[in-house]
Amino acid sequence: MSEQEPQTRMKKNQKHRKKGGKIQIILGVVLIIIAAGLLAMDPIKNWMIERGVNQNTIANLTREDIEANMNADVTFNWDDIQTLDAFTVISDNVNPNHLPTIGGMAIPNVEMNLPIYKGVSNEGMYLGAGTLYPDQAMGVSNYSLASHHSINDSLLFAPLMRVEYGDLIYLTDLENVYVYEIDVITQVHPTDMSVVQPTEAPIITLITCDYSLNERVIVQGSLVEQVHIDDATDSMIDAFGLPQTVPGA
């Protein structure tokens, strides 16, 4: 073996190490860029949700708007619902004007004020709560609503994690205000449909995912009061951010 052969192999190994190091650096930079992009997407998602919720809040509608939206052709396919994630929300870019708002729901003690949309859709649950059955009516039987549990604890149904027994839930269709008092807070398996079955007494059922996404958080309340919108108290009006002169009333 000549003296040049080991030197030649050493030079080749050094070149391979240098090349491998450059590839690792490039991959590291790419991963940092991807991570930064993902982090940037979450605030954009939150902004889009807040914008859509605020645009469709009940304070921006009239009773005539709600009556028209009640006739909207929608689906009630629960299998359409997917996990809330920033990429999907941003890529779908839902136009709030295309969603059929039929009411509002508020829980003042956790600062929740959301539009209620007719039907079960991914788009509706991005920007509020959706009704689970076509024939359900406020103040009658089991009025069931579902929405996403956001990482941001102030968005959508995430505030349900902070409700307590005795908290009041307000619903309105700008004709009446319905007041429910929370008396059930529990978790069930996703296949447990007993919580949304019709009931003789008027109740409300709110459904969202738990932190693990493996269980469903259930909040139920019993109807304790129903008043015409003209007779709504200041606390009822304030819960929805309505003007003192209610539009469409």
Element (H, E) at 179: strand 176-188
The answer to whether the CB of 171 falls within 8 A of the CB of 137 is no
How many CB atoms are closer than 10 A to CB 205?
21
209 catalytic per annotation: yes
Alpha-carbon gap, residue 102 to 20, rounded angstroms: 60
Catalytic residue, candidates 16, 98, 148, 189: 148
Three-state SS at 26: helix
The encoded tokens of residue 123 equal: 């788009």
Site of tokens 């994630």: 85
149 catalytic per annotation: no
Q: Which residues pair with 103 in a beta bridge?
A: 116
The answer to whether the CB of 208 falls within 8 A of the CB of 170 is no
The answer to whether the CB of 209 falls within 8 A of the CB of 171 is no
User: How does strand 168-172 pair with strand 176-188?
Assistant: antiparallel
Alpha-carbon gap, residue 191 to 212, rounded angstroms: 16
38 phi and psi, to 5 degrees?
-65, -40
Q: Which residues pair with 131 in a beta bridge?
A: 145
Catalytic residue, candidates 98, 149, 189, 209: 209
Handedness of CA 23, 24, 30, 31 (dihedral sign): positive
Catalytic site positions: 148, 209
